[in-house]
């Protein structure tokens, strides 16, 4: 039986690797969703990076004359590398210049305090104590995040905050009208990361002050997710 040409062997192996990396992607997502987020990300990152490298290598092969008659085969095999490559490029493009923080609040002087979140966060979760350097980084990165002032009564504001939280898809897990505290959990769509949110309502002479704090359970940088969550809540309020 004649052996495959070296060129076709290389192309075939590129296809095998691309399919393998494609299969690793859903496995990594399922691993994260199962709670083993560190192991899942260790699968996810090399899968996406490997897919992008394979796509780049395939692009180089297409420029080499001796592979000219195999361009269609290379292209077909590299379809398996597209999902991981697109995911990596989109993540890098959306990363922006975000600080390495994951605990964001509208009141950096007196952040709202969680009542029940600690018991749900589990071992290995980020602590709920905000460090001074994180506060400084937030003030520099997100100066627009400020206390929301409304002329609603505190009861009306409390009911409206509950409605907005539900509309955002958050799971409200604690509410104390007398204390003006609402706690919720927001679960991300793909990886099912859970972030904790606390809303605090207080009155002053002009109406009701609404502060919000959003904290990622895992990871160092939230890539702007918590700030975006707070903005979305305030815009919907």
* pLDDT tens track for 180-204: 999 999 998 877 889 999 999 999 9
User: Same domain, yes or no, for 73 and 119?
Assistant: no
Please check whether residues 110 and 83 belong to one and the same domain: no
Looking at the fold, whether 162 and 222 belong to one and the same domain comes out as yes
pLDDT of res. 211:
98
Q: How far apart are CA 182 and CA 176, in angstroms?
A: 6
**In a shared domain, residues 57 and 149:** no
Query: 214 and 107 in one domain?
Result: yes
Report the percent of the chain where pLDDT is more than 90: 59
91 in Cβ contact with 29 (< 8 Å): no
Task: Identify the pLDDT of residue 109.
Answer: 95
Tokens of 3: 């052996």
164 lies in the same domain as 199:
yes
Q: Is 96 a residue whose pLDDT tops 80? A: no
Chain segment 100-112, per-residue pLDDT in tens: 999 999 999 999 9
- Of the three residues 36, 66, 95, the one that is the final residue of a domain is 95
122/56 same-domain check: no
* Residue 141 placed within a domain: yes
What's the pLDDT at 62?
87
Residues 166 and 208 both lie in one domain: yes
In this predicted structure, the answer to whether residue 205 has a pLDDT above a threshold of 90 is: no
pLDDT at residue number 1: 46
| Same domain (yes/no): 201, 115 | yes
Q: Tell me how far apart the alpha carbons of residues 10 and 96 are, in angstroms, rounded to a whole number.
A: 37
User: What rounded mean pLDDT belongs to the chain?
Assistant: 89
pLDDT in tens, 134-164: 999 999 999 999 999 999 999 999 999 999 9
Q: What burial class does residue 97 get, using C-beta atoms within 10 Å of its C-beta: 0-12 exposed, 13-18 middle, 19+ buried?
A: exposed
Do 118 and 38 lie in one domain? The reply is no
Domain count along the chain: 2
* Tokens standing for residue 109: 């002087």
pLDDT value at 47 more than 80: yes
pLDDT at residue 188 in the model: 84
CA-CA distance, 127 to 209, in Å (whole number)?
26
Compute the radius of gyration of the chain from its Cα atoms. Answer: 24
- Candidate from 85-89, 99-103, 209-213 with smallest mean pLDDT: 85-89
Print the domain residue range for 86: 6-95
């Amino acid at each position: 039986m004649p052996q495959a040409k070296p060129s076709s062997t290389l192309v075939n192996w590129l296809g095998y690797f691309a399919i393998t990396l494609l299969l690793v992607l859903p496995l990594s997502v399922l691993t994260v969703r199962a709670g083993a987020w560190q192991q899942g990300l260790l699968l996810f990152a090399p899968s996406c990076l490997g897919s992008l490298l394979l796509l780049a290598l395939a692009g180089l092969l297409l420029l080499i004359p001796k592979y000219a008659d195999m361009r269609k085969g290379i292209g077909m095999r590299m379809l398996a590398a597209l999902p991981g490559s697109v995911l990596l490029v989109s993540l890098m493009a959306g990363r922006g210049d975000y600080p390495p923080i994951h605990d964001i609040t509208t009141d950096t002087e007196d952040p709202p305090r969680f009542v029940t979140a600690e018991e749900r966060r589990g071992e290995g979760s980020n602590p709920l104590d905000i460090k001074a350097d994180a506060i400084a980084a937030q003030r520099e990165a997100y100066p627009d995040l400020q206390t929301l002032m409304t002329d609603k009564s505190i009861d009306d504001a409390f009911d409206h905050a509950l409605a907005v939280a539900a509309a955002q898809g958050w799971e409200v897990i604690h509410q104390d009208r007398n204390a003006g505290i609402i706690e919720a959990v927001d679960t991300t769509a793909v990886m099912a990361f859970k972030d904790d949110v606390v809303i605090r309502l207080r009155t002053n002479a002009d109406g009701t002050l609404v502060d919000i704090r959003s904290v990622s359970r895992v990871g160092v940088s939230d890539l702007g997710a918590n700030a975006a969550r707070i903005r979305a809540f305030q815009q919907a309020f």
